[in-house]
Each structure stands twice: as structure tokens, then as C-alpha cells.
A and B are shown apart, each in its own frame.
Chain A
Amino acid sequence: MTPTIKVENLRVSIPLAAGVLHAVRGISFEVAKGETLCLVGESGCGKSLTSLALMDLLPSRAKREADRIELDGADLLKLGERDMAKVRGSTMAMIFQEPMTSLNPAYTIGNQLEEGIRLHKGVSASEARERAVYLLEKVGITGASSRLGQYPHQLSGGLRQRVMIAMALMCGPDLLICDEPTTALDVTIQAQILHLLKDLQREFDMAVILITHDLGIVARVADRVAVMYAGEIIESGDVDEIFSRPTHPYTQGLMNCIPVPGKTAYGERLGTIPGIVPSMIGEMTGCAFANRCAYAEDICLKTLTTRELVPNHAVRCVRAEEVAALNAGLDTATASAGSPA
């Protein structure tokens, strides 16, 4: 089966006064119908630029290169601006982090919901309205038809995010990209929105790319996970595999520095990742994590390879096998020694 989206060797660079910033450095992934891929990583690692590159909505200075970007088997790299605009409104859609920046304060919810589908699918005003009401109800907004006349500022944050979801679904996209869809919301509303996204994904059989830095969301929502660091995917695989055997030293670092209810004891110190992300200006050789990695050796600065440890679990680290073996050893050591005092 062809994946809904297939990306090969995507690169995004931005010329700056200090040199060229290589913000996304050769990443590849694919997502099938009904599947959710979570892109996770810390601020500035290139998550948003990756999604903007797929949508062809990068800032004007930024340059996009790729060996392949295919949506439903069609080559997006060949499309001109007008055709791309059509794809954007209909086959792929995006939900942005801050709903207020993508909702126009001067237009009613109804206007904004109906505009895209009328433009791209040429449906009549009444059909568009019907679909808008249907989707608003789907996303759990009560009294949907009366909401159509309201303006964005009249809605709470949780409701606005629901409207954004309804808007993204108006044309029935095959691919939905969600960039930090719940970061601004509190936990109960976050759970509601994620629940809703899952339901809708099932109903419309969409491929979903969800971007977040919250490992809790990743664990609960993803089928597959891609961990990004300094513009690269440094580890990827099935969600169970990544959470039960995180192998790249950076992924391990991330998992150790969050407090986990039931695991982290009250008042316990958390793990940290010493050092900072290297500048991504100019060319880089070897492993971008080397300056912070406890396992780093000379070879890490010279070559870099992606290794598939088991099918569907790839780690971009020349020492992946050794690191994995060391960790397995540690696990058995602690298990046989009993719980540490």
C-alpha cells in the first residue's frame, strides 16, 4: 500500500548574517492511512520547519530541498504554487500551535469554516454550511449553528482549538499535521482534544503527524515516533519499542529528565542533559550530540550512520549496538542486584 505521505532526505536551510542555518538536515519518514507519527524533540530542533516544508509554507528566506515528497503517490515537489494551494486546502491540512494566530479576528467562525471548501471544492453555500455544522458538532461544540455567527475572541481557548480542528477537516484531508495542538491548554482540556483527534482520525481514516515536546502525549497518541535533535531524526520506531528500549543517548536523556508519577520519588533529583545544542550554522560532520554524550568517542566525530537494531527501530548513532548492550547489561545488573537501597 502506498503511504499517504512519503518524505525522503528533506532539508531546510535559512541564510543568516552569520552563515547558512541548516535547520532540517536530511530527514526521511512516511505515514500510512490511519496511522499517527509523533515528531518529538526540544525547542529549535526543526519540528515546525519540517511540517511547514511539507505544506510548502516555509518563511520566504528558507530553502527547501528533498529527494522526494509524495502525497498519495503524487510528487509534491513538482507542483506549482496554485496547485499546491489546492492541495493545502483539501488533501492536507494543518492545525497550528496558537489558534488565535490562524483564526482571523475580523471574520465569523462560519465564514472561516466555509471559505476553504467553497473555494477548493466548489460546493454551494448551503452545503458548506451543513458540513460546518456537522463538524462543529463532531468536535463537541454544542449549539453549533448559533456558533457560526460568533467571532474567535468570543470563544475560550479550548473551543477555539476545536474550531481549528473542525476547519482543518472541512475538506476531508488525507493528511492532518498538528503542531503542538494542546500546548496552551490545561490537562483536562488537553485530554479531551486528543481524544477527539483520535476519534476523528478513525472516522476519516487520516494519516496524522503530531508534533510535540511532551513525551506523555507521544506515549498515548503515537503509533510510531521520530525523535529529532538538531535537525535530524536520531531515533525512530514503534511507540512501544521506543518507550521500552530508548537507545539513542539523547532519547534516554529525555526520558530520564521528566518526572514520572509513580516512578520518580517525592523530592528526587531528576536526570539532566548537560551542555547545549550545537549551532546549526555551517556544515557539521559526525554526530551533533557528541558534545553532550556520555558515550562519545573519537569515531563519533568522524562518521555517522543510522542503524536498524530490530525491524522498525532505527538509531542514528555509530555506537548504537554498544550503547544498547550497555543498557541491557545495566538492566540485568540492577534486576539481579535487587532494587537499590
Chain B
Amino acid sequence: MTTTPILEARDLFCTFQVRQGMFQPKRPLHAVNGVSLSIEKGGVLGLVGESGCGKSTVARMLLGLQEPTSGTLAIDGQPLQEIGRKELAKRVQPIFQDPYSSLNPRKTIGSIITLPLYIHKIGHESDRRRKVEDIMDLCGLPKRAYDMYPSQLSGGQRQRVAIARALVMRPEIVICDEPTSALDVSVQAQILNLLLDLRRELGLTYVLISHNLAVVELIASKVSVMYLGRIVEEAQGQDFFRDPRHPYSQALLASVLTPEAGLGVPDAQLGSTFPNPIDPPPGCTFHPRCAHAGDACRTIRPSQIRDSRGLVECHLFDDAVAV
């Protein structure tokens, strides 16, 4: 049985025109270079990859905050353009990295969380108060916080406020871009527990972007790995962490520092030749850093191989190409 995915992106491209030097002409930077994604209702898609590979740009497109250069996006089968901005905001909400800068310091917590309801003209005055208190309760915020200001709360409480503000609209999909990376580990644990509980209780669907792969392993049902604007591997979460297939995925997981004494720091053998997104290498864009790179890799762009395990974009898995 196939169900319509709650969120589906097909062939997304996003190109920025950037200048490398003050007097140089603008050149195209393909931040997102043909990305397709789909998530089932209640699923958690973990989006991982090197700094600058285009994760946040994908997130902004999913939120309708960044117009794709081309490609289509649909929620429950309905194209994004047909949905309209306000309706979209009701259904898809973001949680960003920094709980400090994303809250207005001059507004009380109550009014910060109520604001989306005002904007979308949802409920009456008394109704709204109840809705807000309910969501605060769900997010583990004490009632007294209603009249407090952001500066009076701890980092973890502020991130809870940001989550409550996102959830008060009762969205179906929440896009979390590094939701815990600015937080201490003890606060991170509270927020991850909260995200897990809310998913269970409200049937939420998450897109989770994080550099912390242990966090992704804990909550993602499916993982997509990006490299230079493309998805190079996609698999069920547990399969992925047990047996990553793409050489970049393997390097990524090999670099994770688990808290086990005596193992030393791994060397993922990636070399220090960082790719320039304006001048991506020919063939497979990962080839200058790949331990398995052969002649084909330097000239032929690998195609997407889809199989029972998911997707991988590497010649090693393509019977038609000898590496």
C-alpha cells in the first residue's frame, strides 16, 4: 500500500548569484542542486551533511521562506503554490537554532506564544489564553512563565517557548534546524525528550537538521545525507547508522566521537581539499576527497541508484560503471 507522503519535494534547485571578490562579476552558486525528499506522516527525516552543503536552504524552501529556482513542493499532495502563505504557516512551522535571538525581549512569554494566533485570527480572546496555557503545559513551561520575559528564563525554557510558539498553531510538520546545538547537554536532553513526546502525542512529522549524529540516530526514522547541494544517500535511520553506504556517509559516521575513553580521535581520511561550491569538481563532486575514487569518478557524474535499501549516488553501486 502506498500512502501520499505528507511532505514531498521533487527536483528542487536553488541557485544564488554570488560575487567572490569585490570587483568580480556575479557567478551562480548551486546551493541546492536537484533534491527530492518525501516524508510519511509521523516520520522524522534527519537531514545531515557538511557545513554549507545546503541543508538550511532546503529547510527555508520547505517553509516557503525561499523560492526554489525550480522544482515542486507538495503537502499532502497539494502543491505549495496553491496553499498560500498563511495556510502554509498553519501547517508547517520552524524551530531554529538560537532561542536567544529568535524571541522578542520586550514581549512577555504569553504574548510571544499568542502572537501567531492573533496574526491568523484563530479563536477568541479567552479561548486563546486557554490554548496558549495548554501548549505551555505540553511543552513543560510553568504557568507563571506566562507573564515573564525571555531574559528571566533559562536557555532550555527559552527553547521551550520557541517550540510552544511553533506548536500553538497545531502544525502538522515541524522543521527543526539545529534545535539543540546552542544548548547545554542537560537542556538538550529535555528538549529531545519533549520532541519525542510531542511526536507521539500529536502525531507530528519532523524534518531534523543537525550536526550531532547521535541526536539524529536517536530520533530520525529516515536519514538523507547531503553533499554539495545533492542528496548522496537516503536510508531508514537504523539501517543507515548500522551500515552507511556512500563513502561520504562512511566518513561522516567514522568522525563521530562517542564518549568512550581510550579510542582516540579517528582520522576519516578526507584530506583538506575543501570543495568550492561555485566551482564544484567535475564527475562525482566528492571525488577529490574520496578514498575509492577511480577514473570514472573524475569525469562521469554518478546517477541515483534506488534499491530496497533506499538511495545512493555513487559509481560503486552502479553496475553500469566501472570505477
Contact = CB atoms under 8 A, between A and B. Distances in A.
- A complexed with B: yes
Interface of A: 42-43, 140-142, 156-159, 185-192, 194-195, 198, 213-222, 239-240, 242-244, 253-255, 257-262, 264, 266-273, 276
Given A243-B259, A259-B215, A261-B213, A269 B196 contact: yes
B241 interface: yes
A268 B272 contact: no
Contacts of A270: 189, 192-193, 218
Nearest to A41: B184
B272 A188 contact: no
A219 B218 contact: no
A34 to B, nearest CB: 15
Nearest to A242: B261
B184 A216 contact: no
Nearest to B21: A154
A159 B260 CA distance: 28
Nearest to B274: A156
B263 interface: yes
B141 to A, nearest CB: 14
A267 B221 CA distance: 9
A218 B259 contact: yes
Given A192-B272, A198-B265, A261 B185 contact: no
B186 A273 contact: yes
A301 B78 CA distance: 61
Given A43-B155, A258-B214, A188 B259 contact: no
B211 A258 contact: no
B259 A259 contact: no
Contacts of B196: 267, 269
A134 to B, nearest CB: 17
Interface string B245-271: 000000110111111111111111010
B265 A272 contact: no
Nearest to B200: A267
A2 to B, nearest CB: 27
Interface residues of B, number: 44
Contacts, number: 141
B214 A260 contact: yes
B231 to A, nearest CB: 17
Contact of B185 (A42, A157, A239): A42
Contacts of A142: 272-273
A332 to B, nearest CB: 22
Contact of A239 (B188, B254, B261): B261
B211 A187 contact: yes
A94 to B, nearest CB: 21
Nearest to B257: A216
A213 B188 CA distance: 12
B76 interface: no
B186 A253 contact: yes
Contact of B265 (A159, A220, A271): A220
Contact of A257 (B155, B186, B211): B186
Q: Residue among B51, B213, B252, B267 with the most chain A CB within 10 A? A: B51
Contacts of A187: 211, 213, 252, 255-257
B43 interface: no
B185 A216 contact: no
Interface string B215-237: 10111000000000000000001
Contacts of A272: 186, 189-190, 193
A278 to B, nearest CB: 12
Given A213-B185, A267-B196, A267-B219, A276 B154 contact: yes
B155 to A, nearest CB: 7
Contacts of B69: none
Given A140-B272, A261-B241, A276-B154, A43 B257 contact: no
Contacts of B262: 219, 239-240
What 10 pairs across the A-B complex have the smallest Cβ distances?
A216-B257, A257-B189, A270-B189, A191-B255, A243-B261, A42-B184, A259-B218, A215-B259, A187-B255, A273-B186
A271 B189 CA distance: 7
Nearest to A244: B261
B303 interface: no
Interface string B196-220: 1000000000000001011101110
Given A43-B155, A239-B261, A243-B260, A266 B218 contact: yes
Contacts of B268: 188, 191-192
A264 B211 contact: no
B50 interface: yes
Contact of A214 (B50, B238, B257, B273): B257
A258 B265 contact: no
Nearest to B267: A195
Nearest to A268: B218
Nearest to A266: B238
Residue among A156, A188, A214 with max Cβ neighbours from chain B (10 Å): A188
B217 A261 contact: yes
A254 B188 CA distance: 11
Contacts of A190: 255, 257
Given A191-B267, A255-B259, 8 more contacts: A42-B185, A43-B155, A157-B51, A188-B50, A216-B258, A240-B261, A259-B214, A267-B218
Given A43-B184, A187-B211, A192 B270 contact: yes
